[in-house]
């Protein structure tokens, strides 16, 4: 019974880690694709700051996943989990706060018109 619970715990924690890693990679790719001038227009730090933050998030998220997969053991609740959660938080802040402001600026900066009234 204990072995079965360890297997279930392993798959749950690795699956959650993969979801978090996917979110972190999404934030990093969006940050890489955005121009530096867009960050300056929305007053949300600099592109280098967000690249470092989201890049570090991806790095620690990857480390959290690769360790258990290489050893096939349950991820421990330790520094790896804490760093992965900190990276998930940084990626979440980027996606929830910075990205919407950047999307708004990109929309106005590329000549898209307001799709309201035709007058």
- The pLDDT confidence band at residue 112, using thresholds 50, 70 and 90, is low
Q: Tens digit of pLDDT for each residue in 6-33?
A: 888 888 888 988 999 999 999 999 999 9
Residue at 70 is within a domain:
yes
Place of tokens 């993969």: 18
The fraction of the chain above a pLDDT of 90, given in percent, is 52
Residue at 102 is within a domain:
yes
Look up the domain containing 27 and give its range: 2-107
Mean pLDDT of the 75-93 span: 86
Q: Tens digit of pLDDT for each residue in 55-77?
A: 999 999 998 888 778 877 777 66
Residue at 52 is within a domain:
yes
- What is the token pair recorded at 30? 């969006």
What does pTM read for this prediction?
0.81
Domain count, the chain: 1
Predicted confidence at residue 4, as pLDDT, reads 85
Contact 34, 110 (CB under 8 A): no
């Amino acid at each position: 019974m204990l072995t079965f619970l360890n297997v279930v715990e392993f798959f749950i924690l690795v699956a959650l880690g993969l979801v978090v890693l996917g979110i972190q990679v999404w934030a990093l790719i969006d940050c890489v694709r955005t121009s530096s001038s867009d960050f300056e227009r929305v007053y949300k730090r600099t592109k280098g700051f967000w690249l470092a933050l989201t890049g570090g998030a991806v790095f620690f998220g990857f480390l959290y996943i690769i360790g258990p997969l290489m050893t096939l053991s349950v991820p421990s609740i330790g520094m790896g989990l804490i760093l992965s959660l900190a990276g998930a938080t940084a990626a979440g802040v980027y996606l929830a706060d910075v990205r919407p402001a950047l999307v708004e600026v990109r929309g106005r900066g590329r000549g898209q018109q307001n799709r309201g009234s035709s007058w």
